[in-house]
Amino acid sequence: MKFNKWSIALAATGVVSLASVVQAEESHPVNTALSSTTLSGFVDTSAIWNVGTGSRVAPRFANTGADRQDGFNLNYVKVQLEKPIDEGTWSAGYKTEIMFGPDAAVMPGRLGGAGGEIALKQAYIALRAPIGNGIDFKVGQFDPIVGYEVTDSYANPNFSRSLAFNNLEPFGHQGILATYQFNDVLGASLGVANSANNATGYNGGGANLGNINAKSGNNAFGAPESYKAYMAGIVLKAPESLDWLAGSSLYAGIVKGLEVGNDNDPVTYYVGGSLATPWKEVTVGAAYDYLANGSFADSYGNAVSVYLNFQATEKLKLNGRFEYATASDGLFLGAAGDNGKVVGVTGTADYALFANVVTRVEVRWDTAVGGTNLRPFGSGAGDEKNDVSVALNVIYKF
């Protein structure tokens, strides 16, 4: 008898017995359901050296946080199962992304309570309604609709995340999202989600982190149980007829109602885009984030990020990022940085040395500006004005 690849893999790992495999192979509906499912993922590791004393850094995403400095790190392992939806018909599919490792501890889909290192990054049912050009729905846990960068490190031009990613943007939502592509140029999305478990990274995911089904009314925020977060986005893409500008894009999005503080109503505004150039090896990008009422009523945080990417050779990519972030409180620099400002410069060299492996070296410099006595880095507040780190990032994708 000829077994399919999924059955052989399950039997080999001991998850199922060979006898059950034989029985399952005779059940055509099971085979049909699995045949279009794909398995993928990666293992993300790093080594970071923080120049100078101590390891205090500006609040960043977990993969380059203070606990990752001056040593070797396993960031996380991701396993993804997906069945894509079909074009032009009533179609259903799904996507599940499971994170294992320390990075999972800050995600809104974290399982196991405080300190848990397993998270459902995404776990949604995908549906397509063949109305017009087709309306696509995601129902469940899905990635945020705003931001230039994403959680998966290899998909970003740099290894470390921007200050905006960690402090001004949500990490994910649980709800429903609808997207529609009007034509080759214009697309839009609308969504509604639970508010209680969708906070930004500033609060480490919110008071209900670890309870993926958290609702309003069950926490200290005082919102009614029906309180929800609402989101919308619009994207413009340059058509092929625009010659070298083809592939350029401009995106704007808003997310309102995430619960990240007391007695407030946070709103995240985002505008970002990428621009092709007459030199096909060079692309540029830019993003602006603004978070209103993020820490308390009338507080704000905002950041500008600019990206430059150069494909130097077939295997070598050089990526740069400049960012400038300000806030009305200690959002970016902690208690010592009220009304402080941060300038960040990051340079990354990505060399494709092995098949299926991302290998890159990165240098990052953050500096506190706006006050000569502001020294938030080093061993503790008051030590150093600048933070410099050197990182090696190696990722295997399967």
pLDDT tens digits, 170-190: 898 899 999 999 999 999 999
- Which pLDDT score, from 0 to 100, does residue 10 have? 37
Query: What DSSP assignment string belongs to 261-317?
Result: SSS---EEEEEEEEEE-SSTTEEEEEEEEEEESSSSTT-EEEEEEEEEEEE-SSSEE
Beta strand 300-311 with 282-292 is antiparallel
Instruction: Identify whether the C-beta of residue 323 lies closer than 8 Å to the C-beta of residue 303.
Output: yes
pTM here?
0.85
- Which pLDDT score, from 0 to 100, does residue 116 have? 79
Instruction: Identify whether the C-beta of residue 21 lies closer than 8 Å to the C-beta of residue 10.
Output: yes
Residues in the chain: 398
- Which pLDDT score, from 0 to 100, does residue 223 have? 63
pLDDT below 50 — which residues of the chain? 1-30, 198-210, 220, 337
Instruction: Identify whether the C-beta of residue 47 lies closer than 8 Å to the C-beta of residue 30.
Output: no
Identify the burial level of 291 via C-beta atoms within 10 angstroms of its C-beta, where 0-12 means exposed, 13-18 middle and 19 or more buried: buried
Instruction: Identify whether the C-beta of residue 387 lies closer than 8 Å to the C-beta of residue 52.
Output: yes
Q: Between vectors from CA 263 to CA 257 and to CA 267, what angle results, nearest 5°? A: 30
Is CATH 2.40.160.10 what the domain over 36-397 is classified as, yes or no?
yes
- Which pLDDT score, from 0 to 100, does residue 224 have? 66
- Which pLDDT score, from 0 to 100, does residue 352 have? 95
- Residue 310 makes CB contacts below 8 A (sequence gap 6+) with 281, 282, 317, 318, 319
- Which pLDDT score, from 0 to 100, does residue 95 have? 97
Torsion of CA 148, 77, 377, 334, to 10 degrees: 70
| Domain regions of the chain by residue span | 1-35, 36-397
- Which pLDDT score, from 0 to 100, does residue 241 have? 87
DSSP 169: S
Three-state secondary structure of 75-143: EEEEEEEEECCCCCCCEEEEEEEEEECHHHHHCCCEECCCCCCEEEEEEEEEEEECCCCCEEEEEEEEC
Question: What tens digit of pLDDT does each residue of 68-111 get?
Answer: 999 999 999 999 999 999 887 899 999 999 999 999 988 888 88
Beta strand 71-83 with 135-142 is unpaired
